[in-house]
A and B are shown apart, each in its own frame.
Chain A
Amino acid sequence: MTGKPAVLTSVEIEEITAEMSHYADKAAVSIEALKIVQKYRRWVSDECLVAVAELLGISPAQLEGVATFYNLIYRQPVGRSVIHYCNSVSCWMLGAEQVRERLCRHLNVEPGEMSADGEYTVLPIVCLGACDHAPVVLVGGQLRLDVTDDTVDEMLGR
């Protein structure tokens, strides 16, 4: 038999497999598995998706149905750091649009696009649960509260 080149790394496979023991059904690991792949690769390519599906014993179509349902599974390449600016109501009232504008202007991108240097992708996100510190940005797993123009500049190292 001709061995296929392994798409997933052994670390990824190990982490995904470890999750399986928590559930009555392997398919429940779908989201976590995709997030594990994303942790290492930033996004989920078609190849990876097929490989994960195989590992979970579900069809690529089934996994794709799940992957495309959720906001934070990226099926397209994203920058090394994804900047999520909250655009829900409280942040909107307190200046989310300015935050977006400044982010996009600095990086010369539209929301959803990757900056030319591959460093950043700017994406809107729904309420981050920090409305008392609006406007809020989530970057690198950390909340940036009470964001001002200065915060944005500092965040982007300008």
Chain B
Amino acid sequence: MDKMDKPLTQNIEPDRLFATLADYERTGGYQGLRKAVKELQPKEVQQWVKDAELRGRGGSGFPAGLKWSLVPMDDARQVRYLIANGDEMEPGTFKDRFLLEKDPHQLIEGMIIAAYAIQARTAYIFLRAEYHLAARRLEQALQEARAKDYLGERILNSDFSLDIHLHTSAGRYICGEETALINALEGKRAHPRTKPPFAVVSGLWGRPTVVNNIETLCNVPHIIRYGVEWYKGLGRGADHGTKLFGASGRVKRPGLWELPMGTPIREIFEEQAGGMQAGFSLRGLLPGGASTEFLLPEQLDVPMDYEAVAKAGSRMGTGGLIILDDKTCPVKMVLNLELFFAQESCGWCTPCRDGLPWAAALLQDIVEGRGRLEDLETLSGLTRMMGLGHTFCALALGAMEPLQSALKFFRADFERYITGAGEG
């Protein structure tokens, strides 16, 4: 396939440790930035990204250009910020680390263009603590970019100045939620913030702030460089561009692939991941990380488009497929997920803080033979309690998605434990 079909990974080659600045520039790196600051007004950059209908790759799919256009731009003295969300901690998700380690300049260029579009003079990369290698590569790349005038005062001789700081976190899933991230960046406990006001109006230190996912920002240089029409041509369905899809679990070739938006799950699962390992068969899958609902083998033809996956009863999420095989107990798998979510609850709102540990305790009781049939009703009740809008942020909502769908699809597995018929 032509490289231009895989803009995000075009510089990533099996025999290359990572793309250096030279590698990056060789394929046209920083041309998008040049074009943006030389030829386009900030509003135009916003418009291009809006027209390209680039949707956020952090999980919620919010249109990036639209988000940028909500930033108040009229007051020139107003301090604004851009933050790249590199907190990637959603189980089953490993796309941002890959992009950061392999082609750090792509993110940096994307950030500079995005910062230009919203006229932010300071930007931060919020990186999860565990990504040591990514941190080193980013620091190096930032220095290179500064040295080449891509970053710093009066970038490429324009009026635009920007500095980017790398901020590494200390490990908390909730820091990925954009307003919790802002609190974390301010050096506070990372509780999510009240919305509205949205960060674009009142974010970091109360100032307008755009938070975008790493992968989202990596798309930006290409949109500016090759244009909206080109970008829109990349998708296969309702959504545009490409996306990094991953697969983990007992598949033949776990991994990560850049594919057009709208690629059917089957293609990812069978063609890229090679289907199930010998001796295992497919029982279900979480299409977009731990906080999405199970899809079943009969749903493999669903295209990975936001709407299509939603219609199938789940979410595209981060696009990281977690494969449930027939030898793994879905109840225990859900227990593992709920323990994760219970531990990562920030402790701010009641249903999440106290409901998730209870859900985990009930699941533990069930798999350890202490379960009761009414516990399943209690678990369903908890999934209803943590429904949309019921908790302060979407962590608990996401936590309930695998549980709720497991209760629906794998109910017999739960009941077998309780009635004493044993596991699996």
Judged by CB atoms under 8 Å, the answer to whether A and B touch is: yes
In the assembled complex, A41 has its CB within 8 A of some CB on chain B: no
Q: Is A157 an interface residue (CB 8 A)?
A: no
Q: Cβ of A6 < 8 Å from any Cβ of B?
A: no
Count A interface residues, CB 8 Å: 42
Shortest distance in angstroms between B215's beta carbon and chain A's nearest beta carbon?
13
Is B293 among interface residues, defined by CB-CB distance under 8 A?
no
B129 & A72 in contact (Cβ 8 Å cutoff): yes
Q: SS class of chain A's interface: helix, strand, loop or mixed?
A: mixed
* A65 and B189 within 8 A (CB): yes
Q: Are A90 and B322 in contact (CB under 8 A)?
A: yes
Given contacts A93-B333, A128-B130, A131-B246, contact A31 B170 (CB under 8 A): yes
Whether the pair B173, A28 counts as a contact (CB closer than 8 A) is no
B89 CB within 8 Å of chain A: yes
For the complex, what is the distance from the CA of A23 to the CA of B123, rounded to whole Å?
Answer: 10
Q: Which residues of B contact A66 (CB under 8 A)?
A: 187-189
Given A89-B290, A90-B322, A131-B322: A27 in contact with B169 (beta carbons within 8 A): no
| 0/1 interface trace, chain B 139-172, chain A, CB 8 Å (1 if under) | 0000000000000000000000000010111111
Asked if B344 and A132 make an inter-chain contact with CB atoms under 8 angstroms apart, the answer reads no
For B248, B250, B254, the residue with the greatest tally of chain A CB atoms inside 10 Å of its CB is B248
CB pair B187 A88 closer than 8 Å:
no
Among B93, B94, B173, B204, max chain A CB count under 10 A is at: B94
Compute how far the CA of A22 lies from the CA of B122 in the bound complex, rounded to whole angstroms: 9
Contact A27 B187 (CB under 8 A): yes
CA distance A129 to B133 in the complex (A): 12
Residue of B nearest to A22 (CB): B165
CB-CB under 8 A for A71 and B170, given A126-B340, A132-B246, A134-B248? yes
Residue of A nearest to B402 (CB): A89
Chain A residues lying within 8 Å of B204, measured Cβ to Cβ, are 24
Given contacts A28-B187, A90-B249, 17 further A-B contacts (CB under 8 A): A56-B187, A69-B190, A88-B92, A89-B92, A90-B92, A90-B248, A93-B325, A125-B130, A126-B89, A126-B171, A127-B340, A129-B96, A129-B131, A132-B94, A134-B254, A138-B130, A141-B132
